A = this chain, B = another copy of it.
Amino acid sequence: MAESDRAKLTDPFGVALDLEQGALAEVAEHLVRRASDMRGYYADEEALEELIREHDDPVHYEVFDTPVPKAAGHLKFCISKLQPGTVGDECFMTKGHYHELPGTAEVYLCLCGSGYMLMKADDGRCEAEQMHRGAVVYVPPHWAHRSVNTGHEPLVSFCVYAAEAGHNYGDIAQEGFPKRIFRRDGEVTIE
């Protein structure tokens, strides 16, 4: 190993994860997205405003992060927790993102809840993989991805990606994904 690499050697570490609830024993960063952060993402804008007003702008989803350097060769791991509910008939979802380094993958291991990982590629394809306890979803390089909670409890996943991947919301706020996921009378549909 070169002297310059040796000087940058990161120490190993361990952290306990509750495999039933998905809680990390230590969290370095905690990102919170509230309903008001989701303006522009749902089909029914009025229903979102009502949710914000009547439920005091509730927490929509959270990311619990670990202290890994944002540098080449490192892997970030985190917990993503998306609340259950609908905006009109549309199931709660994350904003979704590409990676800033678009050619980097992400692995999701779902621990609780049920829903879909919705993914889109810029050749127009849109894929939905089911998420439920124990489902591992592989998001390949270049696919934008968004979690959608179709159930009645939080959708919680353990996620791993290149630490330098970054987030790029790109065209998502404007164009969304080619498909939306609804729950009407207890029936989930992808449209």
Interface residues of A, Cβ cutoff 8 Å to B: 1, 5-6, 9-19, 24, 66, 68, 72-75, 77, 101-107, 109, 111, 117, 119, 121-123, 127, 129-131, 133-143, 158, 160-163
Contacts and interface: CB of A to CB of B under 8 A. Distances in A.
Contacts of A5: 103, 142
B66 A142 contact: no
Counting chain B CB atoms within 10 Å of each CB, which of A68, A73, A129 scores highest?
A73
B17 A74 contact: no
A162 B73 CA distance: 8
Contact of A77 (B107, B122, B140): B107
Contacts of A19: 19, 111, 133-134
A16 B134 contact: yes
Contacts of A127: 11-12
Contact of A104 (B73, B131, B133): B73
A138 B14 contact: yes
B107 A140 contact: no
A141 B24 CA distance: 22
A132 to B, nearest CB: 8
B12 A77 contact: no
The 6 closest A-B pairs by CB, nearest first: A10-B140, A73-B141, A14-B129, A73-B103, A160-B160, A75-B105
Contact of A107 (B24, B141, B160): B160
A92 B129 CA distance: 38
B142 A1 contact: yes
